Amino acid sequence: MIDPIELNDKTFTKDVLDKTTFFQIAEAGAMGEGGGIVFVTENGTVFHANYCYGDLKWETLQRAFPVIDQCEFGITHSEVPEGWVYENLGMGNHLIVRRDRYDGFAKLSSKCSSMGELYQKWLDFAAEQAPASEAEIRLVKGDITKITDVEAIVNAANRSLLGGGGVDGAIHRAAGPKLLEECRGLHGCETGEAKITGAYNLPCKYVIHTVGPIWGGGKRNEEKLLANCYRNSLQTAVDNKIRTIAFPSISTGVYSYPLEEAAAVAVRTVDMFIKDNPGELDLVEWVLFDHRTYDAYDRALDQLRAKKS
């Protein structure tokens, strides 16, 4: 068992180091704005960081990886663990890389003209080595027009896209008249398809409009069309670099799709899309207004998880 590496009050022991690609140490004052650390694991998580060099800004790092902890720079023990390679990069910068990753990092180093460019390429390289994390699927009981934790919400629209009742009407009212104005330019939407607009006065950035099937007894391709609503909405999100999205329960209101069947189609289709598109989404949630609908989706998710286990 190697000695742990201590970073302020954060201690990284061998089980963490075994899952780590690299970390970079920059001495306090060497970068003009204090020192910093990047500690990137195989699954793309930065455990400890407070500043990055040059043109690799803190916001860039936050977009690249979720940051669990931020604290001031400090190292109380920095012996290089077995299986790692140390390099002094000059200007107070040091790099410690896993030996089995060293060749990849070394090749990148010879092609970069600045430290900022080099750090960005290292982050990209580490992310490429990491297995894609699976998107979170969850349920929320509430009003979809007030959700603040996603970039896009899905509107269960009618084919005109010009507003209606239920969720459709609520979204148009909350977004304001500019949403209707933009929707007029989309010239409608076919059942199962999806189109995107801005969100205007809503707390999210985008609205993805999809048209669910009207229930006709299950003999009019309703299941396929409902699955298409979810699949095409998610594909629209991915195409527009949207990583977090919220759905209502599509077609179970005035379109009368049986709730239990609709929930099963919804969770199955979303789960399959996430498997087919690893690393493209971070969060897919359903925002459900009443207990009955929430319970139906909760049961559908439980059944899906039971089949996986």
Q: Dump pLDDT digits (tens) for 111-121.
A: 676 666 666 67
Residue 40 has pLDDT above 90, yes or no: no
Q: CA 126, CA 49: separation in Å to the nearest integer?
A: 16
141 bridge partner residues: 288
Residue 175 has pLDDT above 90, yes or no: yes
Quick check: 217 and 258 in contact, CB under 8 A? Answer: no
Mean pLDDT within 128-151: 85
Rounded to the nearest 10 degrees, the angle between the axes of helix 291-308 and helix 259-276 is 50
* 135: DSSP letter: P
Residue 132 banded pLDDT, cuts 50, 70, 90: low
Q: CA 61, CA 36: separation in Å to the nearest integer?
A: 12
From 16, 245, 263, 19, select the one nearest 144 (Cα to Cα): 245
From 249, 254, 255, select the one nearest 285 (Cα to Cα): 249
Instruction: Give the per-residue pLDDT at 123.
Output: 62
Between 3.30.70.2750, 3.50.50.60, 1.10.3210.10, 3.40.220.10, what CATH number should domain 136-308 receive?
3.40.220.10
The pTM (predicted TM-score) of the whole model is: 0.63
Q: CA 191, CA 279: separation in Å to the nearest integer?
A: 28
Instruction: Give the per-residue pLDDT at 201.
Output: 98
90 or 210, which is more confident?
Answer: 210
All structural domains of the chain with their residue ranges: 5-129, 136-308
